[in-house]
Structure 1
Amino acid sequence: MTAIEVVTAYSLALSQGDIPTAFSHFSPEAKWYQPGNHQFSGTKEGLDAISKMLGDMMGATKGTLVINPTGALMNNGNLVSFPTHFTGKIGDRTIDMTGVDLFEVVDGKIVQVWLFSEDQAAEDEFWG
């Protein structure tokens, strides 16, 4: 699979709620760089840490966190840029913004993910 095919397969499985298939596209030693200054910020190393963070985000938003692609995936070698739009709700706080997720794919597996948000301060406030 090409890098774009790997990220597309991950995204499709995630959007269908097929978490085992989604995470089968990650290297067990993958790193996820969550930006900002909030409860989920920082580098998550390994599938257990990544899956716990994503599960905790879904729990915090009571399942309202939705991430959708906003354009074509683009690649440069083993890097894939994934433009996104995400929304969610925690109590009376809401988030509705765009971002870019950048994936590094090596040997058919996602090995690193960096996230970028259009307004990091607003995202920090949302996550608390």
Structure 2
Amino acid sequence: MNTDEKNLKVVESYFNHLSKGEMEKVGQLIADDVIWHQPGNHQASGTYKGKQELFPHLGKMMEITQGTLKLEPKHIMANGDLVSVIIQFSAQREGKSMSMAGVDLLKIQDSKIKEVWLFSEDQEAEDNFWGR
């Protein structure tokens, strides 16, 4: 199995376990020293370093949306250690809803997700959804 195939499998497993809420298995696919780049200018924006910062961040996003945050991967593409995923993501909170396309760019190292950059189709709308 070549690097692209191995890295595609890591990312496919990540989204599969995430969709089922299998957070322990998700955690096994993420490097302990992961770096997560959450874009925008809202309460969840920022760079999160390590699982100790990332997991509370993800938990907060699920709490704010009362578990309605959904990520649907549409196309997963690999180029060496980088895997890009075109996604559709949606959530609801306090009577507001959001649904838009995005791109997740994941760097894979030693079969673990080492770094993640997220991109939103409409960052201003996402900022307004999450609030300051």
TM-score > 0.5, shorter chain as reference: yes
| Runs of at least 5 residues in structure 2 that lack an aligned partner in the other structure | none
TM-score, normalised to structure 1, is: 0.96
Q: How does 1:9-48 map to 2 (within 5 A)?
A: 9-48=13-52
CA RMSD of aligned residues (A): 1.0
Residue number among 53, 61, 66 corresponding to 1:62 in the alignment: 66
How far, CA to CA, are the matches of 1:6 and 1:29 in structure 2? 17
Runs of 4+ in 1 over 4 A off after TM superposition: none
Q: How many pairs were matched up? A: 127
Displacement of 1:49 after TM fit? 1.1
How far, CA to CA, are the matches of 1:5 and 1:85 in structure 2? 20
Q: Please say if 1:84 is aligned against 2:87.
A: yes
How far, CA to CA, are the matches of 1:48 and 1:12 in structure 2? 22
Identity between Structure 1 and Structure 2 (%): 43
| Runs of at least 5 residues in structure 1 that lack an aligned partner in the other structure | none
How far, CA to CA, are the matches of 2:69 and 2:113 in structure 1? 22
Greater mean deviation of Cα atoms: 62-71 or 27-36: 62-71
